[in-house]
């Protein structure tokens, strides 16, 4: 049986970023596929419109404005 997880290399060790279903002392074979850590300045352009058609933007704006009217603090007594 095999599984794929993400891990981070730090201080000479691989640190799993997910829970492993292994028993203490169990031997495994590790295959390393590196993921480039490049920051792409064009990510905003590539993701533009990703929410289009998924939410009603006008309703969201209305709900945000309505939630701003709710107060949980008592009025100060001067």
Instruction: Domain ranges for the chain, please list them.
Output: 1-33
Q: What confidence tier does 47 reach under pLDDT thresholds 50, 70, 90?
A: confident
Mean pLDDT, residues 48-74 taken together: 85
Q: Confirm whether pTM is higher than 0.75.
A: no
Q: What are the residue ranges of helices labelled H in 1-78?
A: 43-47, 57-68
pLDDT in tens, 11-35: 999 999 999 989 999 999 988 888 7
Tokens 């590196």 -> residue = 34
Give the tokens for residue 4: 């794929």
Short-list 27, 24, 38, 32, CA closest to 4: 32
């Amino acid at each position: 049986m095999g599984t794929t997880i993400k891990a981070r290399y730090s201080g000479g060790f691989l640190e799993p970023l997910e829970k492993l279903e292994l028993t203490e002392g169990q031997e495994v074979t590790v295959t390393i596929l590196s993921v480039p850590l490049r920051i792409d300045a064009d990510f905003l352009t590539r993701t533009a419109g990703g929410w289009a058609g998924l939410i009603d933007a006008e309703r969201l704006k209305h709900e945000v404005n309505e939630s701003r009217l709710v107060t949980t603090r008592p009025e100060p007594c001067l």
